[in-house]
Amino acid sequence: MSRRTDQLHLGAFLANSGHHVAAWRHPEAQADASQDFEHFKRIAQLAERGKLDALFIADVVALWGHHLDALSRTARAEHFEPLTLLSALAAVTERIGLIATATTTYNEPYHIARKFASLDHISKGRAGWNLVTSVVADEAWNFGRDQHVDHPDRYRRAEEFHDVVKGLWDSWDDDAFLRDKASGRYFDPGKLHVLDHQGEHFSVRGPLNVARPPQGHPVLVQAGASADGRRLAARVAEVIFVAPQDVESGQAFYRELKEQAAGFGRGADEIKILPGITPFVGRTREEARERFEELQALVDPLVGLRLLADTLGEDIDLSGHDLDGPLPDTPPGQRGSRRDQTIALARRENLSIRQLYLRLAGANPAIGTAEDIADLFEHWFQSYACDGFNVFFPVFPGTLESFVEQVVPELQRRGLFRREYSGRTLREHLGLKRPANRFSQEQTGP
Ligand SMILES: Cc1cc2nc3c(=O)[nH]c(=O)nc-3n(C[C@H](O)[C@H](O)[C@H](O)COP(=O)(O)O)c2cc1C
């Protein structure tokens, strides 16, 4: 394959005191970061100094688990609502993209269309929507249901939800608002479009009461790993988050997804695939390794065992077992491939229970000098295994600082990353086209 001449795209996960499960206990971390807007402001401005494409906020509309003994040893039980936080951050940043997660399972499309259109206006074209179908089943209890919506239903609803949101964003032509004091006309009624959607899950008349977003549509992000999730991604996603194990599986996913997208009439460059990665950067490899080990040593065994239970399933009780002994025999899983992969890893590498949960806590670490990290990014990128990375910074602000000060300049030196933002919108950073209004298209014909 030919050598790529485009550049990497980099997103930064914005998680309270850091992405690592023990981040809040690190001596450098601000333990109450989750409640401190100044903390998020510093992080956002630092990421923007590094010219990163976007900030990304994950979300769950419930507590992130109900095992209080473990949860109470993490900083995951509280976090700001993403659109509210990103709206505030829009006011203290200029260029960086702002991607919020919102579920289609426990929301209404009119609300979502309106909120993201508003964020896009407030930020002058920097909004992105990470469309999820809800991983945490407990969310159901907060929305009048006693159990989670089934997986296939979640995706059917998501498809229709997405189509309604996009339709609502096209409620107005780009030039519908005249605001002409002299003539007294505020908008041109001929440039207003009523969606009139009637479907299996939604009946939405429209139009939206917010002007068409500056980007036309905020950038659509998706991260589902199942067959249904991939299908939706291939049809609608412009950025896809993935968690592949190695460069070969990354290449396979990249190829398959872009082929699948071609089946929906979409070009390969209309979708940016960004695997998650957790960099630990040091001036030397030893220093990087020490930083990693320092954090891993802070993982409370109860939290580690919960990570294991979440991955392997509740039917495996590890409580009476020696943490430094092997994983006991486990029945074949019903939880799908992640369970099997994790068990296979433990057997293959002869890992103890503690070593296994530390692997899960480490979350795909890349440990080394700035050159090592840049080598790895370059290898993935040039192998067509990704279009960039979504970076999990283990502890704020230090690991983001060392990334911005050491890794970004190395990537720039290699021509792999921008030195300055050339555009103003998130679409422009990602090299994505601005979509035409579906109603104007209908009027003017192809
Ligand atoms: C990198 C990444 C980030 C995700 N973030 C969230 C999130 O913030 N909230 C959520 O409910 N699901 C999140 N998900 C889950 C998916 O978007 C999806 O809803 C879930 O994996 C179930 O779909 P699937 O069965 O197709 O994988 C994330 C997944 C990945 C890979």
Ligand 1 binding pocket includes 237 (Cβ within 6 Å): no
* pLDDT value, residue 441: 64
What are the phi and psi torsion angles at 341 (to 5°)? -60, -40
Q: Is the CB of 11 under 6 A from ligand 1?
A: no
Which pLDDT does position 329 carry in this prediction?
81
Q: Which phi and psi (to 5°) does residue 127 adopt?
A: -85, 145
From 76, 132, 155, give the residue whose CB has the most ligand 1 atoms within 8 Å, as the site to mutate.
Answer: 132
Cα–Cα distance for residue pair 223/229, rounded to 1 Å: 7
The stretch 103-128 carries a mean pLDDT of 98
Q: Could you give the CA distance from residue 112 to residue 105 in angstroms, rounded to a whole number? A: 12
**pLDDT (tens digit, 9 = 90+) per residue, 272-285?**
999 999 999 999 99
Predicted pLDDT of residue 226: 86
Calculate mean pLDDT across residues 311-325.
85
> pLDDT tens, 209-251?
999 999 999 999 999 788 999 999 999 999 999 987 789 999 9
- pLDDT tens-place string over residues 129-177: 999 999 888 999 999 999 999 999 999 999 999 999 999 999 999 999 9
Ligand 1 atom with minimal separation from the 136 CA: 11
Set out the domains of the chain in order of their start, with CATH numbers.
Answer: 9-283+369-444 (3.20.20.30), 296-359 (no CATH)
Structure confidence at residue 339 (pLDDT): 82
59 is in an annotated binding site: yes
- Asked if the model's pLDDT at residue 446 lies above 60, the reply is no
The Cα-based distances of 382 to 4, 6, 265, 288 in angstroms read 6, 10, 25, 25
The answer on pLDDT for 443 being more than 70 is: no
pLDDT band, residue 328 (cuts 50/70/90)? confident
**pLDDT per position as a tens digit, 15-71:** 999 999 999 999 999 999 999 999 999 999 999 999 999 999 999 999 988 889 999
| pLDDT for res 442 | 58
Residue 191 has pLDDT above 60, yes or no: yes
DSSP 176: -
Sign of torsion over alpha carbons 357, 71, 47, 95: positive
Using 50, 70 and 90 to split pLDDT, how confident is the model at 2? confident
Pocket probe for ligand 1: among 105, 135, 151, 337, the residue whose CB has the most ligand atoms within 8 Å is 135
Q: How confident is the model at residue 13 (pLDDT cuts 50, 70, 90)?
A: very high
Judge if the beta carbon of residue 132 lies within 6 A of ligand 1. Answer: yes
pLDDT at residue 319, as a whole number: 80
The mean pLDDT value of the chain amounts to: 94
Distance 324 CA to ligand 1 centre (A): 31
Residue 389 has, within 13 A of its CA and on its CB side, a CA count of: 26
**Per-residue confidence (pLDDT) for residue 445, from 0 to 100:** 39
Place of tokens 């930083």: 291
Which residue puts its alpha carbon closest to atom 25 of ligand 1? 226
How many other C-beta atoms lie within 10 A of the C-beta of residue 25?
19
